[in-house]
Structure 1
Amino acid sequence: MTTYQGSVTARICAWARAYYSKSENQPVFNDYLAEKIIEDDKKLLLNLILKKRRQEHGVFKKNVLDLILPIPVSRSIFAEHEFLDFKKKNPSAQYLILGAGLDTFAWRDTSDKTSYFEVDHPFFQSIKKQRIKNLHLENRAIFVPVDFRTDSLKEKLKQAGFDSSRPTFVTIMGLSYYLNFSTFISTLKDILELSSKLTVLFDFYEEKSLSDTDRRFEELKNLTSYVGEPMSDGYKSSSVVNTLEQLGFAVNHLTPYEIKEKFLSGQIKKIKAYDNVHFIKAEKL
């Protein structure tokens, strides 16, 4: 958390989704609510991130869009496509979003059978709830405030009405960047206990030598540090896959090249995928 009323990176990701949705002729996903939900943040983002400190702090040596858009856009396409496929096979699915931030999918989906549970820090979640209210949107999600330092995810979800007998789809997008490997795996172990039919999606970055790593990622890390949200160390992709398989997951590992080919082609092919960001789809066996 920062002094800027909660997560700045969550606001940046919403801005990226809004920009993509408005600028593409045929967007793969259309987050038409993103621009509305960050209306109060535009001045903050423009002054703090895009203009005021650009030269002084040297966090934007390359094009802003090339720096900010690739991860939020590609993982939104990934998550929304996978969930819609999951829902076709499981009409009564539950969708659990950990670190929901300013995600708006629950309000854009038309399904009446899906139950949405949004988990986030109590402070930032209170901001989102007020914004949803200000936009006069109906209650589409069950908000579950969780402080992982003190709260039990399982107990909080149970109190909120989470049904462990229903097929459950979980996304943990963007959180791994700020957690060490053991903490993240501990979170996955907790998630394993939530349902017998479970699919989990998440992204992570792989730490490489500077000579191998996309230099933009160093700039991205500088940016998140600057706004008060420094990243943790990256993970080794082999360790991620091996650990998940040991936990009993069937793992589909999408490499940076596959992310580029699947999610950043066609109309958005000019947006270059990061060469050290990976996606995981893990299904409970």
Structure 2
Amino acid sequence: MESGRPSRTAWRAAHARARHQADPQRIFTDPLASTILHVEPDALTPLPDDPVARHNIRFLAARSRFAEDSLASAVTAGTRQLVVLGAGLDTFACRHTHPGLTVFEVDHPDTQAWKRQQLAAAGIAVPPSLAFAPLDFERGTLAEALDAAGLDRTRAAFFIWLGVTPYLTRDAVLATLRFVAGHTAPVQVVFDYYSEPSPAMAPELRAAYEAATRRVAELGEPWLSHFTPDGIAGELRAMELDDIEDHTGPGLLARYLGEPTPDADAFSGHVIRAGRTAAR
């Protein structure tokens, strides 16, 4: 991202969530998605006819649905701390109904300043249960940012990390996961990652994949890392995050829509939940 400006990919993800609200097959509900963008729902671009683009919007919705469903289960079991890494314009902290849950949002200071402006202009109140943890990795660490925001490492926590890992190096992704795994109390994390496109991917789908990665590179936020399911599972188990479930994008959509999605083997997005149920 450019200095002094918010992440463009954060805006694109927020816009996709807002567009999904008009999907006749909506699987994720966010009543604030268009409000925080200052866009009337009727003014949003209709869902694309292109099946790949439509799948991508639904994948973003499915990963949010899975993360929030998983969090709800953790809250039922007693977790009262949520950390959203790379929160962007996510609205969960302003719309959830979980009593006693503190939400810590970690993002670049410029993105958080932009979000505060968007919230204020939209008339969306910042709840007292939301703690901002601004972090510029050139000047601080994740541990320092969360310690300053008040995260209690001796109490159970849930981390949501969506739409970020492809833009980081492999080493940076694993370093963040090691930080999560170092939480003293029981901990869970939901994050997404991408594997390399299959050699069997249809030419038109490969072209769409390459076009998407080219667009974000042109925005100054190129994809830098990929993982395989076995590879990332091995890394997580080595960190003692051995309670693992890994879903492909088409698999999640089939789960929520109740029917198989086309080209199920063609898309490389995964959403994974990993955790440790005991204290260290």
Runs of 4+ in 1 over 6 A off after TM superposition: 270-273
Cα deviation for residue 13 of structure 1 reads 1.1
In structure 2, the partner of 1:53 is none
| Separation of aligned partners in 2, 1:103 and 1:273 | 29
Aligned pairs for 1:139-178 within 5 A: 139-140=126-127, 141-178=130-167
Asked if structure 2 preserves the Cα contact closer than 8 Å seen for 1:248 and 1:284, the reply is yes
In structure 2, the partner of 1:70 is 58
Equivalent of residue 260 in structure 1, options 243, 253, 270? 253
Cα deviation for residue 134 of structure 1 reads 2.0
Mind listing any 5+ residue stretches in structure 2 that lack a counterpart? none
Q: Does 1:280 align with 2:279?
A: no
In structure 1, the partner of 2:87 is 100
Asked if structure 2 preserves the Cα contact closer than 8 Å seen for 1:70 and 1:271, the reply is no
The 1:284/1:79 distance shift into structure 2, 3 A limit, reads same
Asked if structure 2 preserves the Cα contact closer than 8 Å seen for 1:256 and 1:273, the reply is no
Equivalent of residue 72 in structure 2, options 74, 81, 84? 84
Cα deviation for residue 153 of structure 1 reads 1.0
Equivalent of residue 181 in structure 1, options 150, 162, 170? 170
| Separation of aligned partners in 2, 1:3 and 1:165 | 35
Equivalent of residue 129 in structure 1, options 98, 101, 116? 116
Aligned pairs for 1:8-19 within 5 A: 8-19=8-19
Q: Which amino acid aligns with 1:240?
A: I
The 1:89/1:196 distance shift into structure 2, 3 A limit, reads same
| Separation of aligned partners in 1, 2:30 and 2:155 | 27
Cα deviation for residue 38 of structure 1 reads 1.4
Asked if structure 1 preserves the Cα contact closer than 8 Å seen for 2:250 and 2:264, the reply is no
Write the deviation string for residues 130-171 of structure 1: whole angstroms up to 9, x where unpaired: 111222333221111011233111121111111122211101
Mind listing any 5+ residue stretches in structure 1 that lack a counterpart? 51-59
In structure 2, the partner of 1:5 is 5
Q: Which amino acid aligns with 2:245?
A: N
TM-score (norm 1): 0.83
Asked if structure 2 preserves the Cα contact closer than 8 Å seen for 1:11 and 1:41, the reply is no
Asked if structure 1 preserves the Cα contact closer than 8 Å seen for 2:84 and 2:161, the reply is yes
Q: Does 1:241 align with 2:230?
A: no
| Separation of aligned partners in 1, 2:21 and 2:5 | 25
Aligned pairs for 1:17-36 within 5 A: 17-24=17-24, 27-36=26-35
TM-score (norm 2): 0.84
Q: Which amino acid aligns with 1:137?
A: I
Cα deviation for residue 253 of structure 1 reads 1.8
| Separation of aligned partners in 2, 1:70 and 1:9 | 16
Cα RMSD, aligned residues only: 3.0
Aligned positions, number = 268
Asked if structure 2 preserves the Cα contact closer than 8 Å seen for 1:14 and 1:103, the reply is yes
| Separation of aligned partners in 1, 2:103 and 2:23 | 28
